[in-house]
Amino acid sequence: MALPETEQLTHMIASAGLARAVCTLGELGVADHIHSGTPQPVEKLARLTGAHEDSLYRMMRFTASYGVFRETGPRIFDHTRLSAVLRTDAEGSFRAATRMFHLMFPGWNGLHHAVQTGGSSFQNVFGKPLFEYIGEHPELAPLFDAGMTAFHGHETGAMLDAYDFSGIHTLADVGGGNGSMIAAVLQRYPQLKGILYDLGHVIGRAKTTIRTHGLESRCSVVEGNFFESVPEGADAYLMRHVIHDWTDEQCVRILSNCRKVVPPHGRILIVESSVSAGNEPSLGKDLDIIMLGFPGGKERTEAEYRVLFERSGFRLAKVTPTKSAVCVVEGTPA
């Protein structure tokens, strides 16, 4: 008879299949063919998605045991609150995140390499760092943008509710991606001006976002590489989910470039997870393994942020929690 410990470990090993199954169902778009309260037979879902019927049933039965879909009758499935968010048209849809990881999933195959060497799992498998790979495959950029919004878009409102930006005149969003965050901040604070700073292959999408929101007169879009320099002209420099992509040495380089342009009364704002102590599970610890596997960075503790700031010419002023998994780590010139 199996020991309870071996059965629990078996569940953990099988959880790799759970992650892949959720991404596969998201890629297939199964959720789009079910309306809550109107269960659908697997036979129809397989026909609509081009899937093998019995294999699709087994995958849905498996994910339903974790709360993703619900079998309401023999081989008939309805939505749960989790599967409903996999619909393309759902508010805060998570489908793009599953599709992004469906494409990048082979990157997990290098995790053994990462833990042995400290290198990136993704780079070991794909031959290039994650962001360089995306830069060379522009067809992936819209999906990556949508995937990042699915993962982190809900954090923007939580950040704005928790942190007061009213004392800032000009906010620079360093590594601002498609511009969705800086646009939200500027809309919440009509007196605020903005600068979005990112690589050349990114800022085209950012300009579209700024233009769509009618913010061209209040937000400039600047091309550049934060490993080389950061633009002047702001009194606060914000980075959300940027620092966690990089090693400590790379972070010190980015932050040191920020320190060169932050005025004496200015501040640096890092919006990231703060990894908790102890053995309790947390989303920050989950994200940390993703960082180890894909960009090769890490989620950090408050103490680790403090050290990064000190090495870069800042001091940690305060940490503001939000209702989401992220907090706002504020630094001021030392």
Q: What is the DSSP letter of 52?
A: -
* 215 CB-near residues (< 8 Å, 6+ apart): 183, 186, 187, 194
| Closest to 22 in 3D by CA, of 91, 107, 85 | 85
| Closest to 51 in 3D by CA, of 18, 72, 26 | 26
Rounded Cα distance between 207 and 236, Å, is 21
Note whether 100 and 144 are within 8 A (CB): yes
Q: What region, left, alpha or beta, does residue 270 occupy, with left being phi > 0 and alpha being psi -120 to 50 degrees?
A: beta
Is 1 exposed, middle or buried, given 0-12, 13-18 or 19+ CB atoms closer than 10 A?
A: exposed
Q: Which residues are part of the catalytic machinery?
A: 244
